[in-house]
């Protein structure tokens, strides 16, 4: 009888510490899960090119990226949900008028519509990734984009939320918000994967810490919030483990009986 479980892990603040390091015990625990025959997947707001090294290090080939807009199962693209192109063009025009830069993102790269801006430099640097958006103001034309970064201060996104009904705006930094298709979420991407794998929902697990994890942790039957998670996330999770720095992944996997 198939006793596989599937476990989805967020990256920042969940698999990786605040300093973007992977705790050795977390890595060891991931490989234990795989040895036990379980499916291990990533569910992140990051672009695929932003966690390629991590996938290689953990030998993970199934992931939900861009908060559900680009989903891959065992190395094959399972589903995509691009941004509405005419709306994105209007958003770009509005942002330019407001002196709010944007960065366009597809599955391979990201490009900025301005040569440089302090908001972009400051927020992107916190991700501690090698990729940095180069200048290409026409990158949004004639290609599928799964996420755009809008750079503005807290509260300034309100006017965009009112103007663009087919986008969701999710703040991830004091100077930047993710722009994704309306209703897109990690939970929807996860649903695509579990439907293909036919693993019953009582063997679905998810670990997360941020606001973009709330729908995932509300939907997945066995949900675990990290000890460093924000209060709204802890409230919706079934379990709360230790912080990522205190080997919260390993502790959480023991709590739910997977290790």
Q: Provide the annotated active-site residues.
A: 10
Q: Is 234:247 a contact under the CB 8 Å cutoff? A: no
Q: What are phi and psi of 60, to 5 degrees?
A: -110, 130
9 - beta bridge partners? 42, 207
- Dihedral in degrees, nearest 10, Cα atoms 185, 161, 111, 124: -80
65 - beta bridge partners? 70
Q: What are phi and psi of 19, to 5 degrees?
A: -90, 10
57 vs 244: CA distance, rounded Å: 18
Q: Is 11:50 a contact under the CB 8 Å cutoff? A: no
Q: Which long-range contacts (CB under 8 A, 24 or more apart) does 33-40 make?
A: 33/7, 33/253, 33/258, 33/259, 34/59, 36/258, 37/3, 37/4, 38/4, 38/5, 38/6, 38/7, 38/258, 39/4, 39/5, 39/6, 39/7, 39/197, 39/199, 40/6, 40/7, 40/9
21 vs 19: CA distance, rounded Å: 6
């Amino acid at each position: 009888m198939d006793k596989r479980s599937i476990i989805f892990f967020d990256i920042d603040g969940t698999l990786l510490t605040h300093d973007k390091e992977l705790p050795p015990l977390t890595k060891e625990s991931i490989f234990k899960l795989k040895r036990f025959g379980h499916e291990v997947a990533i569910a992140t707001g990051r672009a695929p090119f932003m966690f390629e090294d991590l996938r290689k290090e953990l030998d993970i080939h199934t992931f939900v990226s861009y908060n559900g807009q680009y989903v891959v199962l065992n190395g094959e693209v399972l589903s995509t949900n691009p941004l509405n192109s005419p709306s994105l063009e209007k958003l770009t025009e509005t942002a330019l008028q407001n002196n709010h830069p944007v960065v366009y993102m597809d599955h391979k790269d990201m490009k900025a519509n301005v040569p440089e801006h302090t908001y972009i430099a400051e927020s992107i640097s916190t991700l501690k990734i090698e990729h940095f958006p180069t200048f290409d103001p026409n990158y949004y034309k004639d290609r599928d984009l799964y996420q755009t970064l809008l750079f503005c201060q807290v509260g300034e996104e309100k006017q965009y939320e009112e103007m663009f009904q087919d986008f969701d705006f999710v703040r991830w930094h004091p100077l930047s918000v993710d722009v994704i298709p309306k209703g897109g979420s990690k939970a929807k991407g996860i649903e695509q994967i579990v439907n293909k794998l036919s693993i019953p929902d009582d063997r679905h697990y998810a670990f997360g810490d941020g606001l973009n994890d709330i729908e995932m942790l509300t939907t997945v039957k066995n949900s675990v919030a990290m000890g460093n998670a924000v209060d709204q996330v802890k409230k919706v999770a079934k379990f709360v483990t230790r912080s990522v720095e205190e080997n919260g992944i390993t502790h959480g996997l023991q709590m739910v009986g997977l290790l």
